[in-house]
Structure formats: C-alpha cells, structure tokens
Structure 1
Amino acid sequence: MFPFPFIFLFFLLCCNILSPLVVNSLNSEGYVLLTLKQFINDPQNSMSNWNSSDENPCSWNGITCKDQTVVSISIPKRKLHGSLPSSLGSLSQLRHVNFRNNELFGTLPQQLFQAQGLQSLVLYGNSFSGSVPNEIQNLRYLQTLDLSQNFFNGSLPAEIVQCKRLKTLVISRNNFTGFLPVGFGAGLSSLEKLDLSFNQFNGSIPSDMGNLSSLQGTVDLSHNHFSGLIPSSLGNLPEKVYIDLTYNNLNGPIPQNGALMNRGPTAFIGNPGLCGPPLKNPCGSDTPTSSPSSYPNIPENPSHDGGIGSVKSEKNKGLSKGAVVGIVVGDLIGICLLGLLFSFFYSRVCGFNQDQDDNDVNKGRKRRKECLCFRKDESEALSDNVEQYDLVPLDSQVAFDLDELLKASAFVLGKSGIGIMYKVVLEEGLALAVRRLGEGGSQRFKEFQTEVEAIGKLRHPNIATLRAYYWSVDEKLLIYDYIPNGSLATAIHGKAGLVTFTPLSWSDRLKIMKGIAKGLVYLHEFSPKKYVHGDLKPSNILLGHDMTPRISDFGLGRLANIAGGSPTLQSNRVAAEKLQERQKSLSTEVGTNILGDGYQAPEALKVVKPSQKWDIYSYGVILLEMITGRLPIVQVGNSEMDLVQWIQFCIEEKKPLSDVLDPYLAEDADKEEEIIAVLKIAMACVNSSSEKRPTMRHVLDALDRLSVSSD
C-alpha cells in the first residue's frame, strides 16, 4: 500500500500532465490546418495567429467558416514555401482552396480530392508538378480549376469530363501532353473560360468542342502541338468568343462559319499548314476542306474512259506551249475588254447621277443605278462639307488620317450583336479602339452625322472619348481612345485567356464606383441633351491606367440603327423575345420575373423610351456585383434568380455579410461598415419603383460623404 504523500504527488503529476488537454480544446479541423502550417515555410507570418489554444480555426488568417466549419482556405501571394499535406482532404465541408502566386511545390495529394464538395481550386503561379490525379472525378461540384503557371505534366485525365459543373478551366503554361479526353466538349458543356495555352497537347482538336455554348472571352489553345484540320464545329461557339489557335501544327483551310468568321490572321499565325482567308496563303486544289471522312478525295486530272476528255496517249498528257500561250493571251484580252466596259459604265452612271437635275436624280434612284460613290437615301442627302470615303475628326488633337488607319495593325478585341471592336496600332505606336458598325447601306447619313457629332462633343474623365468616325456605303467606323486595362467585368470576374488575375481591392472598387457615378451625373445633368445611357453594365465600363473607369458604348444602339444595322438589331429583338419567354417560365419557379440580362430595370420591358432611372437601376446592380463578386444572374438550386432578388433573399434570411461578400474581399474585413453603407446605396438604386430611386447626384453625394467619414 502506497503512503499518502506518494499518492498526493502522483495526483498532482497527473493533473499537470492532463491540464493542457483540458485547456486546449482545438477541434479536429484546427489540427488538420496546423499540419498544413508544419508543412509550409511562412516568411511573411501570414499564419502567425494559427494557435492550438483556440477552440476552432475560424478566426485564423485566410480561413473562412460557416457554422463553425471550415469552408475556405485562401492565402494568396504570401511567398509560402512547401507542399500540401494529404490531410486537407479530411476537411469535409471545404469549398474553396486558393494558394495562387506562392512558392508551393510537390504533387497534388490524391486525398485532397476526398473533399467532394470542393467548388474552386486555384493554385496558379506555384511550382507544383506531377499529373492531375484521376480522383478529380470525385469533385462533382467543382466550378473553378486554375492550375496555370506550374510544372504539371502528363495528360489531362479522362475523368475530368465528370466535373459537369466546371465553369473555369485554366491550365496554361504547364507541361501537359497527350490528347484531350474523349467527350471533352460534350462533358464540360458548362465551361465559360478555357485556357490550354503553352502546353504540349497534341492530336486533333475535338469536334465536340463546338458544344461549349457557354464560353466567353478568349478560348486559348495556342502554343501547343494540335494537328489536323480545324473542325468547322468550332464555328458553333458563341460569336463573341475569340478563338486563339496560334502556334500549333494545324493544316488545311480555315472554316468560314460562325465564331471563326471575321477573325484577323493573328488568330491563326504559327500554323504553316493553314490556308485560305484571312491568311494570304491560298488553298491548293488538293487541300482537304474538312475532316477526311467528310468528303472523298477528288483526283487533280480526272478522266473518263471513252469520254471526250479521256487521255489515251502519251502525246496528249498535257497542253502544248502554244495552247498555253493562246489561253493566257485570250485571258488578257478578255480582262482588258471588261475594264473598258466597266470604265464606260462607271462614267455614264456616276456622271448621270451627278449632272442631272433633282427630278432626274430621283428617276435614277428609282432605277437603282449603282456606282462607286455614295448612294443617297430617298429622304436624306449627304452633307455638302463631308467628302465621301473620308475620316471625320471630332477632336482637334486627331493627328492621323484614313490611310494611316487602314495601314495599321488590327487585333480583334471582341464581337457583339452591334459590331466588331478592334485594337488598332498606328505606325508611331498610338493605340486606338475602332468599332465597326457593319456593312449596311447609306441610310440616313445626316441623322447619323448629327448624332455622332453630338456624342463626340462629350468630354469627361469618366466617359470614353469618341475621336473620329468614318462613313461609306460599305463601312461605318467609330474611333475611340484605346483604354488599356480592359472592362470592369473582366476586373471583377477574370477572363478566359488571362494568365494572371489580380482581384480588385475594396479601395479600388470604391474608386471605380465613384468614377462611374461621376460619369453618369455628367450625362444626366451636364451633357447638352441630358443623355440616358440605357445599356449600362460592367462590360462597357473600361478601366484606364490608374483604374479610372470610362463609360463606353454610349449611344451605340442608336448609331447602329441609323447606320443600317437593322438585320443585327432585328436578330437582337428576336433574341430578346426568346429571353422574355424564358423569363416568364422562370418566373413561375422563383416567384418573380427575371429581367433582361440582369441589369435592366423592371419597367424596361413595358416602357419603350429609356429614362435616367434605368441607368440608376443598372448602376445599383453593378454595385451589388462589385460587392458580391457574383454575376447578375445567380444559380439557386435548379433555378435562376437575378442578383437583386438573391440579395433581398439573403437580407430576409439575415445571412452574415461573409456569405454575401466577394471572397476576394476577405482581406478588407476592416471595411465592413463602409461595405454595408454601399450595399444600402445599391439597394436604394434597385428599388422596384422607379420613383423611389435616388438621382445620380444624390448617389454621388452619399459616396463622397462615405469617403470623407472613412478618412
């Protein structure tokens, strides 16, 4: 039997040993994250508050929880050096992993893909290597996979096509090899962003890639080893999509359909085997025009036994020199005769239209005479002081002419229902943005001139400046300053084809919000006609060098309509009618109507003439988009809800701000009061009653007061 003092000492010893276990109540997810901390060298101490003495890791830097459970790990740009432990896969509710722009290395642990609820995995800008595990098929909810700028190799696993909800697939600048998986296009039909550039993929481009009808921006397949023909099905992609096929081993003619049309040669360079427009390399008669199975081979010199053209003897295998000379001389004489006839016809028709009096001109119009001069509309005449086929400057600082513009290098920036936008770089380096309105007739020039010159007089730091325009029978061009940092839509959501994506900080977002408000106040109150934009959205808000927003595309629909773009606009109206039918069907699911593209005011479907209150509603939606990082149409279960409805739902359900806030703003948590204040301004702007919405002047004043109070 132990003496009493010994028992007492033993009791104290046990208490000392067990006491840390009693005090330290960190849950199991916290210990998993501490394992991650042990695997990583953290020179900037971004994990300094990861302590075992906490009850849970929800207050730790870079960790986001929901109901005290870890749902997000986001530690970008902190020079983390090390590898990822396999234990991360045991975080059962993990939704988002973001370690972009660090110095992590090693392979992706297979166990990571046991977190089957993972929605985004962003690892670009590290030094990961090895292959992507087949277990990626477990991630049925995965929407974003960005592995760009690493050292991954091997083929893309066939199992990736099981990730049916994948919207962003960016794996550029790695060492991936092999063919794309079978069913790539059919299986990943939800893709919105696709960048496979700067890898070593080979084989043919899958024909089912044309099924990716949700793609946006640039589809980048450049700098690989894709070979064979360009499948014509790529033309089925949305027409706004820019398809970059440069520097591969593709051959044959470039299909001229859908999204493949109207592309400059820059989309196809680096493929010596390609031919046909827009390249200067013509296709030969033996060039296949589609996949080998589509058309049979036709011999160059077919002969038919017993027919007139049959070749019977060695003598008749080719044409004699005399026959060739005769054919050439005959062709030249024919061309000269055609030229003389054309000159005679031109002088008679154009002279007729220029020399006759008004009655004769009207008769000439009725007979629809054609010549290489402007055709006059029956109700409009050309301005006497504007030369045909001339560039008209709207600014005294315009120092280029039409010849310089036409000789410049042009790159397609995007394509919309109204026209194609090009970046044009003049010889001296000046960059311009040129919008081509279309190839309609010469309708209503004077009306166009009045409208475009009124727009050209608008001068404000937050309005894109229209510098010049060009009008001819076949071309109508609008020339703007080129604004280098893309659109606000890209700045919020990123863009397929971009190697890097730097999210906007809250201070930048607030600056942009105020800039847009200033531009709208100018349009609404100080412009000559107190204009209404009528189609305000992030895609037509451009960002300058210092992130100063410039409202663009102002008055564009009106100009396109005047310029003879009616077929395009008519197709847009048909699309709008289909959209309205879709909205009506959705309204039965979500209980209210989803309007337009998410930016249109509720009254826009009922009232024909836009009002300033429309712009205010659209501006409110843009504020919500910048706060939440979400698109204007939100997927809720199996139905859709516009962003305004979704925010209202979150408010009614008393969701915490973290559930609404853009995850990229997690580092700006100290700005919570400011963010909530802007959220209130946004909700006032999107009031369903147009009369209850504030004016843009009141909105700007509120934002100014907010900035002053935060200083």
Structure 2
Amino acid sequence: MEPLVSTIVILLSLLPSAVKSSGDAEALLTLKNSIDPSNNLPWQQQQQQQLCKWEGVKECMKGRVTKLVLEYMNLNGVLDQKALNQLDQLRVLSLKGNSLSGQIPDLSGLLNLKSLFLNDNNFSGDFPSSISSLHRLKIVFLAGNQISGQIPVSLLRLQRLYTLYLQDNRLRGAIPSFNQTSLRFFNVSNNQLSGEIPLTPALVRFNASSFSGNLNLCGVQINNSSSCQSQSPNNYTPVLPPETNETTSESKSNRTKLILIIAGSVGGFVVLLICLVLLWMVCRRNRTKPEERNKGVDGVLCVDVNTGGEGTSGGGRGCNNGGKPGGFSWEGEGLGCLVFCGAGDHQMNYSLEDLLKASAETLGRGTIGSTYKAVMESGYIVTVKRLKDARYPRQDEFGRQMDVLGRLSHTNLVPLRAYFQAKEERLLVYDYFPNGSLFSLIHGGVVDICLKDYSPT
C-alpha cells in the first residue's frame, strides 16, 4: 500500500510541470499560426512531448521554454499577444531579421525577460511602452523598423538596462534623460528626434554616431550645442528707456563694481585652475612610478594555469562581428571591437552579439575581476573574464599586452582566444576547461605542474 501511495504523490508533483510544458507548446503553435503562413516552422501538435527539441527552442528549464530564437526565417504577420505572454519563463526572445508587421504587442507578461531582439522587421505604431515594466530587461534591440511616437520616459525604470538600440525608425520628440549607470551601448540615429541631448553621465559617454541622422537634435555630444540656444523661444532683446544724468552716474558706479567683481572672480578661478593642474601633475607622477617599476617583471595581467589544456602558437589581430546578416560592428561607433588572438585556425566564428546573448554562469570573483562561463546559442562554451578597472593600462598598451599573451604557448597555460575593450569595458575570452580552479587542484591533492619551457611565438 505504501509504495502505491508514494507513486501517486510523485505523479501528482510532476503534474503541474507537465501541464505548464503543454501550455508552452500550445502557445507556440498559436504563435506559429499567426506568423508562419509559409509553414517554415516544423512544429506539430503530435510532438508536444518533444517541445524542448523544437526548432528555435534553444533552452528549457523544468520543461518550460526559456530561450526562443527565430531569426531570418521569413516569418510574416502580426504577433499574437495572448500566446506570446503565456511564455512567461522566457529569458531571451529573438525574432530579428523577419518581416513581422503591425504594432508590437503588450509584453508585460514576460516578467523574466532579459534580452529582446525584434530588430530588422516591419513593426509600426507607437513605441511598446509595456517593456518598461520588465524590471529584469537588460538588452533591447528594436532597430530597423517603422516604430513612431516618442521614446517613453518610463524606460528610466529599467535599472539594469545595458544595451538600447533604436536606430532606423521614425521616433520623434526628445530623448529621455537616461541615468542608468549600467548603460553601455546606445543608438538612436536616423530617426526624427529633436531638442537638446541630455547631459547625463549615462549619455555623455556616447559619440555623435549614436545620434546622427536627427536633423533637429542639438547638444554637446554632436558638437552643435550653440544651435540649442537658437531654438529657445525666449530669444529676444528688450527695449530700455533713455538714461538721465542721475541714472548715468549711478550706472557708471555699478559698472565699476561689476567689473571689480568679475575681475576678482576670474583671478580666483585662474588660481584655482593652476592649483588643480599642479595637483594633477603630482598625482600622475606618483601613479606612473609603480608602473615603471613593475614593467617587464611579472607583467600587468595574470595568466590562468590549468593541468589539462593545450597551448597554441601564432598571432593575429582583427575585429570580428560574426559575418552574419544583420550583424553589428561596435568599432564603427567608436565603442571598440572583439579582437581574436592566436593562429588563424583557432579563430572562432562568433561575435560580440553572440557573447551578449550567451547564457552566463558565474565561476568566481577576484581582485582583477569576475569570471563567467558563457554558453553560446551554437553550443560553444568559453570563459569570459570581466576586468574591474578598464582605465589602466591605456588602450594601446593593453592591446600590446594582449598580443603578447595571445602568442604564449605552453601545455599548462590557458590560451587567450580574444579580447574586447571599449571606453569603460574590458573582456578577456579564454577556452573553457571543466577541471576546476588552480586553487582547488593545489589544495585538493598533489599536482605536478611544470611552468618552464614555454615559448612565445
């Protein structure tokens, strides 16, 4: 009797997940009916039990779809709002490179969504303000559509926003004062935006390419802040009454006092500026001395050691945006690029966009930065180290050091495959090894690691 009761309890516990998985399958089939008139998606009612193996379903968790990627599949039609919101466990949704049209539906049901790629379609109508309620959203690609209306101020509620690409649309009005410190990639070029670009810390880091193609925009970022004054409605000259003798002498006295005040202020400002320059020179001298002492001894960056890796030889540098249709080149916007190291046969066909869309798992944190295990959509796994301080050394010196590391070859060195550097971001990409850390290997047993006879090539 007791085994029978235990079996019934187990079956009842599995019932909710099975029901939810069936709900995801029904939602996907409904979505297919609305956007796949050419039957490009081989989804079938009879294959609901194999939902996680359906084309475009890249990841599942407990039978629920968490990553849906339907890119460049000649899909067209209008998205079914109800079916889409039933997929409430989605982390990544990518429908880019199709011919989807109509208004982007309300997506407020996708509370777990982190990455949204709807670029390069035919969406129209107002900006989908519903995404402002998705508090976990980090990456938003809506470029290359026909979206109109204003950029909603409610986007300021997305405190984790990392990438916002809205270029090549029909957006109008002013740019909101984005103040998210996490914002690293931003582009609103080729729209109909107007007014002054806000001087927030989040927006001043972007150059003119992020705002080009908006004829009525002005601001420091595009080097035409003077035109903002000409657009002011209060630009007029008042007519003053004629001066009498008494007012003339009084005005001369006031003018003298004003000149003295201005001269004193300017003099004080000059003295303060000189003091700041001297202080900056002293700090710079003290900061460069440790770098000169350490130069050529141990290097600035550390190299991971592993007992099961194979080294590579050769060199080579080059920016890579994946070579895919609709790819993005960060270098074209002054934001840096992904540079591959090592021999040509070791260069992997992935781009920075692939890294952004990869599933990340934290492996550890240290004084230099944090290390992540990144699993790309293709199934390729790499280790990504995100450096804490992206200011030192300078970009050219950092590139030279990465070239040296990329040429190191030894059986106990994890080869550096690629690196990325932008204004405030530096990433190092290594091969992934599942053997654990050097610390666990050393303290967990005796390991024979030979660190001699390595040769830079």
Q: TM-score, with normalisation over the residues of structure 2?
A: 0.54
Is 1:55 equivalent to 2:46 in the alignment? no
Is 1:185 equivalent to 2:178 in the alignment? yes
8 Å contact from structure 2 (residues 368, 387) kept in 1: no
Match in the other structure for 1:210: 200
Question: Of the two structures, which has the highest relative contact order with CA contacts closer than 8 Å and spacing of 6 or more?
Answer: 2
Match in the other structure for 1:71: 66
What CA deviation, in whole Å up to 9, does each residue of 1:88-113 have, x standing for no partner? 11212201111111111111111x22
Is 1:101 equivalent to 2:101 in the alignment? no
Quote the sequence identity (%).
21
1:137 CA drift (Å): 1.8
8 Å contact from structure 1 (residues 173, 198) kept in 2: yes
Distance 1:122 1:497, change over 3 A: farther
Match in the other structure for 1:374: none
Is 1:623 equivalent to 2:455 in the alignment? no
How far apart in 1 are the matches of 2:128 and 2:403? 54
Q: Could you say which structure has the higher helix fraction?
A: 1
1:147 CA drift (Å): 0.9
Match in the other structure for 1:137: 132
Match in the other structure for 1:224: 214
Distance 1:27 1:104, change over 3 A: same
8 Å contact from structure 1 (residues 219, 496) kept in 2: no
For 2:100, the aligned partner's letter is: L
How far apart in 1 are the matches of 2:366 and 2:232? 40
Unaligned runs of at least 5 residues, structure 2: 1-18, 253-313, 353-364, 371-384, 438-448
1:152 CA drift (Å): 0.9
- Please state whether the residue corresponding to 1:201 is helix, strand or coil: strand
- Please state whether the residue corresponding to 2:343 is helix, strand or coil: helix
1:124 CA drift (Å): 1.2
How far apart in 1 are the matches of 2:60 and 2:419? 22
Q: Looking at CA atoms only, which structure, 1 or 2, has the larger radius of gyration? A: 1
Match in the other structure for 2:115: 120
1:80 CA drift (Å): 0.8
The residue correspondences of 1:234-245 to structure 2 (distance < 5 A) are 234=220, 243-244=221-222
What CA deviation, in whole Å up to 9, does each residue of 1:341-375 have, x standing for no partner? xxxxxxxxxxxxxxxxxxxxxxxxxxxxxxxxxxx
8 Å contact from structure 2 (residues 170, 192) kept in 1: yes
Distance 1:51 1:462, change over 3 A: farther
8 Å contact from structure 2 (residues 342, 407) kept in 1: no
1:195 CA drift (Å): 1.2
1:632 CA drift (Å): 5.6
1:218 CA drift (Å): 6.0
1:70 CA drift (Å): 1.0
Match in the other structure for 1:680: none
8 Å contact from structure 1 (residues 25, 54) kept in 2: no
How far apart in 2 are the matches of 1:223 and 1:611? 37
What CA deviation, in whole Å up to 9, does each residue of 1:529-562 have, x standing for no partner? xxxxxxxxx99xxxxxxxxxxxxxxxxxxxxxxx
The residue correspondences of 1:283-682 to structure 2 (distance < 5 A) are 487-488=319-320, 494-495=328-329, 514-515=343-344, 584=367, 597=390, 612=404, 615-616=407-408, 622-623=416-417, 633=427, 652=436
8 Å contact from structure 2 (residues 341, 406) kept in 1: no
Unaligned runs of at least 5 residues, structure 1: 1-23, 235-242, 254-272, 275-287, 312-460, 465-485, 519-537, 540-581, 634-641, 654-688, 698-711
- Please state whether the residue corresponding to 2:132 is helix, strand or coil: helix
8 Å contact from structure 1 (residues 65, 72) kept in 2: yes
1:515 CA drift (Å): 2.4
How far apart in 2 are the matches of 1:584 and 1:512? 24
8 Å contact from structure 1 (residues 106, 127) kept in 2: yes
8 Å contact from structure 2 (residues 104, 123) kept in 1: yes
Match in the other structure for 1:30: 25
Match in the other structure for 2:146: 151
Distance 1:185 1:620, change over 3 A: farther
For 1:185, the aligned partner's letter is: F
Is 1:88 equivalent to 2:84 in the alignment? yes
Distance 1:304 1:185, change over 3 A: farther
Match in the other structure for 2:451: 691
- Please state whether the residue corresponding to 1:185 is helix, strand or coil: coil
Give the alignment's Cα RMSD to 1 decimal.
5.4
How far apart in 2 are the matches of 1:44 and 1:289? 56
- Please state whether the residue corresponding to 1:211 is helix, strand or coil: coil
How far apart in 1 are the matches of 2:190 and 2:403? 48
1:68 CA drift (Å): 3.0
Distance 1:299 1:148, change over 3 A: same
What CA deviation, in whole Å up to 9, does each residue of 1:3-23 have, x standing for no partner? xxxxxxxxxxxxxxxxxxxxx
How far apart in 1 are the matches of 2:321 and 2:84? 33
8 Å contact from structure 1 (residues 217, 496) kept in 2: no
How far apart in 2 are the matches of 1:586 and 1:152? 39
What CA deviation, in whole Å up to 9, does each residue of 1:648-693 have, x standing for no partner? 6x7659xxxxxxxxxxxxxxxxxxxxxxxxxxxxxxxxxxx89379
What CA deviation, in whole Å up to 9, does each residue of 1:182-231 have, x standing for no partner? xx222x332211111121122x2243x4311795676521222435x52x
1:29 CA drift (Å): 0.9
How far apart in 2 are the matches of 1:42 and 1:512? 45
How far apart in 2 are the matches of 1:100 and 1:514? 33
Is 1:197 equivalent to 2:189 in the alignment? yes
How far apart in 2 are the matches of 1:175 and 1:121? 19
1:616 CA drift (Å): 3.1
8 Å contact from structure 1 (residues 154, 175) kept in 2: yes
Match in the other structure for 2:167: 172
8 Å contact from structure 1 (residues 189, 211) kept in 2: yes
How far apart in 2 are the matches of 1:616 and 1:218? 39
8 Å contact from structure 1 (residues 194, 497) kept in 2: no
What CA deviation, in whole Å up to 9, does each residue of 1:430-469 have, x standing for no partner? xxxxxxxxxxxxxxxxxxxxxxxxxxxxxxx9768xxxxx
Distance 1:131 1:498, change over 3 A: farther
How far apart in 2 are the matches of 1:126 and 1:593? 33
Distance 1:105 1:463, change over 3 A: same
Aligned pairs, number = 317
